[in-house]
Structure 1
Amino acid sequence: MNLFKKFAFTLGLTVVASSTFANQSITVGATETPHGVILESIKPQLAKQGIDLKIKIYPDFEQANVDVATKKIDASYIVYRPYIARFNTLNKTNLVSVVPVHIEPFILYSNKVKSLKEVPYGAMVVIANDVVDTGRALLLLNKLNLITLKSEVNHYDALTDKLPTVQDITSNPKNLEIRQYNAEKLADIIKITDFVILNGNIFLQEKLNKSNVLYMERGLDGKNIWAEYLVTRPNDVNDVAVKKVAQALNSQATKDFINKTFKGEISPAF
């Protein structure tokens, strides 16, 4: 048997053995990056345990969780707990957060303005239009003293706290024009507006210029409120495949991978 045939034969045996051993499949919805990249890194580890991890990439984090709720996929790894709480309330679902994996920054970004001291009067600020990211964006603007919020909604320290809306703005000294768009459209709007507030995954996906970041909120509150979680249905929390994915996502190998691959742009949440 020549070397090529021997290699092909050996490879064939390996594939057969692997497919025989991969006795359970699980499909997890994710964004392309960082979620999808992190999931891809744990596939070999899971394959050795008999778990065939399939990754379904979504541009829309809403649809991913709809698909979990309707059993089209098994789990999602795409959003943080405030969003899941809101999703459950609106859709009368009961999706469950399993384990935290990473924390993304929340970023004030501009192609036009070089510092917070140069924010012009009447500047346009574009934020996401979903309730959770709208609230988080307003909290960021309040923190930077660009607006003032009502005292009862100027903080978010627990999932039971109420997130602010634009109606909760009590002072807007720069007369900022705050516009809301779908989160997936924010990257397209950057060129035509003064400021955009966006999630770290959009920043990474679009490979935006770090020098145009005016402020980065790391989300490292010690409570993992803004951590991105593996999410599934309550009846599947103890499913073997879900548990093994959760263990792999919270392994030292994954922590090392996040630190090495993203170099501080996102942080492990465990």
Structure 2
Amino acid sequence: MKRWKKVVKSILSIGVITCLAACGSQGTQAKDAKLGDAVTVKLGVMGANTDVWDDVKERLKDENITLEYVNFSDYNQPNRALADGSIDLNAFQHQFFLDNYNEEHGTQIVSIGQTINEPMGIYSEQVKEIKQLKKGAKVAIPNDVTNGGRALLLLQTAGLIELDQAAGQTPTIKDIKNNKKQIEVVELDASQTARALNDVDIAVVNSDVAVDAGFIPAKDAIFLEEVNEDARPYINIIASRDEDKDNPIYKKIVEVYQTDETIKVIEQTSKGSQIPAWKSFK
């Protein structure tokens, strides 16, 4: 119950902040600023956990840069706000998600730096191990193309289904070739997967959503994605508009983020659930 009280509180606060920030902000001051100028940069983030960015934000003050968070409640909002100029940068998505978003919406948003890899996990309030899952179990996964495909691939790795290899990294439910346990797959918005745990047997949950729900992925997931070369498309990034990718202020933010100080904070706050991507992937 404590987990869900925390989730409800976070969702209510996020909704208020999102409306104030996204609805009232048109244009920013960082676009034409020079390095050394006193400037505020609006950073779009998902969820309530900003522990790592809080540390970066404090160190950016030495560079005369004030980082202002703009919180969003679903995965479609931060890129929309970045494209229309309401924010300067966002940091919530992996490269694969961004590539798909650009293709679907005709936007020109680009990565300007890697942040972390967050292994996707399978969670449950009903069973402690995958093998305990009964025939006909109900399974929640994200409903967007990239995270939904990623979730199905994880279910395959866990031995629950077999997928058509021709589907590559973006399989859908229609690509399930073998479903021995006859699991019922329910597609939900990625932000709702953890909240569905009372209604399903297992849920495949993005790490940031799991953390906001009170989980420690490395400890609480009953099955966790491996961090290897196959995880490269899922490296999280800092994104900007293509026209601003060489902005010296934004480059400085990436530089301050990609430091040993940040690695220490990641290790302390995530308890092994996040991997510094710029160090782990070359």
TM-score, structure 2 normalization: 0.81
Detail structure 1 runs of 4+ shifted over 4 Å in the superposition.
209-212
> Where in structure 2 are the equivalents of 1:13-52 lying within 5 Å?
23-34=38-49, 36-52=50-66
Q: Matched residue of 1:145: which SS?
A: coil
Percent identity over paired residues: 26
Match of 2:88 among 63, 69, 74: 74
Match of 1:17 in 2: none
Q: Is the CA contact (8 Å cut-off) linking 1:33 and 1:204 kept in structure 2?
A: no
Q: Is the CA contact (8 Å cut-off) linking 1:127 and 1:197 kept in structure 2?
A: yes
Distance 1:27 1:52 in 2: 9
CA shift at 1:33, angstroms?
4.9
Corresponding letter in the other structure for 1:149: L
Match of 2:78 in 1: 64
Match of 1:188 in 2: 195
Q: Which structure would you say has the larger Rg?
A: 1
Distance 1:23 1:175 in 2: 59
Q: Matched residue of 1:53: which SS?
A: strand
> Where in structure 2 are the equivalents of 1:1-270 lying within 5 Å?
23-34=38-49, 36-153=50-167, 156=169, 163-208=170-215, 212-221=220-229, 224-270=232-278
Q: Matched residue of 1:48: which SS?
A: helix
User: How has the CA–CA distance of structure 1 residues 120 and 223 changed in structure 2, closer, same or farther, with 3 Å as cutoff?
Assistant: closer
Match of 1:14 in 2: none
Distance 1:61 1:129 in 2: 11
Distance 1:104 1:217 in 2: 9
Corresponding letter in the other structure for 2:98: I
Deviations 1:25-47 (A, max 9, x none): 2111012354x222211112211
Q: Is the CA contact (8 Å cut-off) linking 1:25 and 1:241 kept in structure 2?
A: no
Larger mean Cα displacement after TM superposition, 48-57 or 211-220: 211-220
Structure 1 vs Structure 2 CA RMSD = 1.7
Distance 2:253 2:209 in 1: 24
Distance 1:142 1:182 in 2: 21
Q: Is the CA contact (8 Å cut-off) linking 2:136 and 2:183 kept in structure 1?
A: yes
CA shift at 1:102, angstroms?
0.7
CA shift at 1:268, angstroms?
0.8
Gaps of 5+ in 1: 1-20, 157-162
Q: Is the CA contact (8 Å cut-off) linking 2:152 and 2:171 kept in structure 1?
A: yes
Q: Matched residue of 1:243: which SS?
A: helix
Number of residue pairs the alignment of both structures matches: 242
Larger mean Cα displacement after TM superposition, 221-230 or 242-251: 221-230
CA shift at 1:183, angstroms?
1.2
Match of 1:4 in 2: none
Q: Is the CA contact (8 Å cut-off) linking 1:103 and 1:228 kept in structure 2?
A: yes
Deviations 1:157-180 (A, max 9, x none): xxxxxx111111111111010010
Corresponding letter in the other structure for 1:87: Y
TM-score, structure 1 normalization: 0.85
Q: Is the CA contact (8 Å cut-off) linking 2:216 and 2:271 kept in structure 1?
A: no
Q: Is the CA contact (8 Å cut-off) linking 1:106 and 1:219 kept in structure 2?
A: no
Gaps of 5+ in 2: 1-35
